[in-house]
Amino acid sequence: MRLLKVIGKRFSRNRLSVIGAVTISCLIVIALFAPYISPYDPTAIDVHNVLSPPGKAHPFGTDELGRDVLSRVIWGSRVSLKVGFVAVGIAILIGIIIGAIAGFYGGKVDAVLMRFVDIMLAFPTFFLILAVIAILEPSIFTIMVVIGVTGWMDVARLVRAEFLTLKERDFVVAAKAMGASDLRLIFRHVLPNALSPVFVAATFGVAGAILIESGLSFLGLGVQPPNPSWGNILTAGKDNIEVAWWLSLYPGIAILITVLSYNLVGEGLRDALDPRLWDMEV
């Protein structure tokens, strides 16, 4: 796999993207080993230690029920990881299917599907998500699905554009002439060559999904207490804004670092995967 090596080399040349990738790896380890890392049970209530400021026993302080904020932030990383990956997985699946069909068949199928994309793009996404969650029960499962179902349009457009140009290429035409079925043409010949912009979009998508999840949980429409998520710790921060700044500060930093890391990796991937930039290296 010489190609992978080239991409890896190009990616590692961007220092910020490498830092982002390392940070994401650390965050994944933290999420996986949360039970062993976190100093306290994230849901353990301690009425003697309500809203105590950061100190030796509780580095990030405690919340209005005396729960350890550091432990809640550590456990909250599990939520953002799950939501990020599952929601983006759903979005990519839908986006690839719709984009591939539209780009491969073209004509009326394409026109109808792309109008559907336009319609979906016209809704302020946050309104649509809120409306669906208002109808279904808010839970981590609901928001993963809803963020995925309302976030596939960009992927569909990217995949369609790739398909439009790829399907005219000689290797696809040759495969078709040899009698390959449509499914085989789409999945075996065209799709693997159309994936690099999808990877980039997916990385940025994880960042976006984590931001949306934290916003929804902040509004009380995402992960429900007592389960910790970065967004719902911030709700407590807002309720105690006059007395407990630490409730507002630390979960937000966690969100910022996580989202920033995915954005940096996305940027690095985009440059590394863009063949037009390859000529520039000597």
Partner 1 sequence: MPSYIAKRLLLMIPLIFGITLITFIVIHLAPGGPVEVQTEMSLKASAQARENLKKLYGLDKPLHVQYFEWITRFAKLDFGKSFVDGRKVIDKIVERIPITLTINVLSLLLIFIIAIPIGVLSATRQYSLFDKVSTVFVFIGFSTPTFWLALLLMILFGVNLGLLPISGIQSIDVSGMGPLERLADWVKHLILPVGISAFGGIAGLSRYSRSSMLEVIRQDYIRTARAKGLNESEVVFKHAFRNALMPIVTILGLSVPGLIGGGVIFETIFAIPGMGQLFYSSTMSRDYPTIMGILVIGAILTLVGNLIADVSYALVDPRIRVKSR
- The residues of the shown chain that bind partner 1, judged by CB under 8 A, are 115-116, 118-128, 130-136, 207, 211, 214-215, 218-221, 234, 237-238, 241-242, 245, 248-249, 251-252, 255-256, 259-260, 263-264, 267
Q: How far is the CB of 19 from partner 1 (least distance, A)?
A: 11
Nearer to partner 1, 43 or 125 (CB): 125
Residue type, 19: I
Could you tell me which of 65, 70, 78, 67 has the C-alpha nearest to residue 33? Answer: 78
Nearer to partner 1, 83 or 259 (CB): 259
Q: How far is the CB of 116 from partner 1 (least distance, A)?
A: 7
Could you tell me which of 277, 274, 280, 258 has the C-alpha nearest to residue 21? Answer: 258
Contact status, residue 148 vs residue 206, Cβ threshold 8 Å: no
Residue type, 230: W
Q: How far is the CB of 267 from partner 1 (least distance, A)?
A: 8
Provide the β-strand partners of residue 68. Answer: 62
Nearer to partner 1, 194 or 216 (CB): 216
What is the rounded CA–CA span in Å between residue 150 and residue 143?
10
Q: Is the peptide bond before 39 cis (omega within 30 degrees of 0)?
A: no
Nearer to partner 1, 172 or 200 (CB): 200
The structure tokens listed for 125 are 């996404």
Nearer to partner 1, 151 or 186 (CB): 151
Provide the β-strand partners of residue 62. Answer: 68
Q: How far is the CB of 44 from partner 1 (least distance, A)?
A: 25
Q: How far is the CB of 218 from partner 1 (least distance, A)?
A: 6
Nearer to partner 1, 45 or 149 (CB): 149
Which contacts qualify for 129-137: CB closer than 8 Å, 24 or more apart? 129/212, 129/216, 130/216, 130/219, 130/221, 133/216, 133/221, 134/221
- State CA 267 to chain mean position distance: 14
Q: How far is the CB of 253 from partner 1 (least distance, A)?
A: 9
